[in-house]
Amino acid sequence: MIKIGINQPHYLPWRLYYERIKEVDLHVVLDHVQFEKNSLVNRNRICKLKQEPFFLTIPLETKGKFGDLAINKISSSKTINWQRKHINSIKSNLYKYSKDQDFLMQIIDKIKCERSHPDFFNLLVELDKLILNKLKINTPIIFSSELKIKKKKSEMIVEICKSLGANIYLSGPGGGTYLNKCEFSENNIKIEYTNDIYQKIKNKYRSVYEKLSILVDL
């Protein structure tokens, strides 16, 4: 039996994103699909202890490009110094309370490098590598752009599962609202959900309980 997870990349995502990766045999980064405005691909929330959370958002060059914005092709803004704002926010809100300040500095260094070598998608990949290594998660990871997937939405998930020989698909909490369960059943693919994982860890980690970036836990 092969269990896979599939998820769009997120900027500094919450812990459940990584717990889901830990639970599968193979994780697929959904990088070939279109960027959706107001998604978590380019933003996430942080905050000081007992204070209101706020978004760290990477401004993207999207004007006139909607409909032709694959996540792995998007560019971050070259005119706005968002990196300085994010670095200052992480330092002032998280650094003092962090259990591993050296690790936070590694995150900051990756963000700082993006200023001189702009590459939005590569930044997401590099940050994920750092965090996965920190969490000691060794799940193999591939990118959907490598699979030449043609279908969309629920059919796309089935196509990815079939192309990788997966028998089980681990869906996020909202998967039940859009997945075509009959199609999965017809292809002998079982759907599991992260609800049990969520319930297990939500009172342990602040990032899960308050739906914040995993950085608040590290």
Mean pLDDT (10-residue bins), the chain, 218 residues: 96 96 97 92 90 94 78 92 96 92 96 91 97 98 94 92 96 81 95 92 91 94
CA distance readout (Å), 71 to 17, 37, 91 = 17, 11, 28
Of 10, 28, 118, 151, which is closest to residue 71 (Cα–Cα)? 10
- Tell me the chain's radius of gyration from C-alpha atoms: 18
Of 147, 100, 104, 107, which is closest to residue 126 (Cα–Cα)? 107
The pLDDT assigned to 66 comes to 67
The pLDDT assigned to 21 comes to 97
Taking the C-alpha atoms of residue 38 and residue 117, their distance in angstroms, rounded to an integer, is 25
The pLDDT assigned to 178 comes to 80
The pLDDT assigned to 127 comes to 98
Taking the C-alpha atoms of residue 131 and residue 129, their distance in angstroms, rounded to an integer, is 6
